[in-house]
Amino acid sequence: MTAAIDWEALRAAATAAMQKAYAPYSAFPVGAAALVDDGRIVSGCNIENASYGVTLCAECSLVSDLFMSGGGKLVAFTCVDGHGNTLMPCGRCRQLLFEHSSSGMLLQTVSGIKTIDEVLPDAFGPRTLEEYR
């Protein structure tokens, strides 16, 4: 499945999103992009706030873009910093991505391509709840 993913296109979309980041406090812009199961690419950037706890990670605005553009499930994901380096989503964002991922979603990480299950083992989410219905 990795061969079918255009990682360069995803990184370009993440870089374009990162350039729109609002990061006046940390000066650490972040951009994220993901491939959706229907072939679309969605993206997002971090949006900081003087009240740091309400800052939005790039993954949050990516999921908003996912729903604003028609929904679906995420198939592949990448995230970059202001220098174009690959970033690993924080734990909160891994959970957010898991919630909206297809089974086996791929992530470009600092240690190579991994599945969502590898970066968030034993996760609880919609697939877990489906087992109880």
Quick check: 88 and 79 in contact, CB under 8 A? yes
Cα 107 to Cα 125: distance, rounded to the nearest angstrom: 18
Looking at 8, 48, 59, 130, which residue is catalytic?
A: 59
How many beta carbons lie within 10 A of that of residue 90, not counting itself?
A: 11
| Active site (annotated) includes residue 8 | no
Active site (catalytic) residues: 59
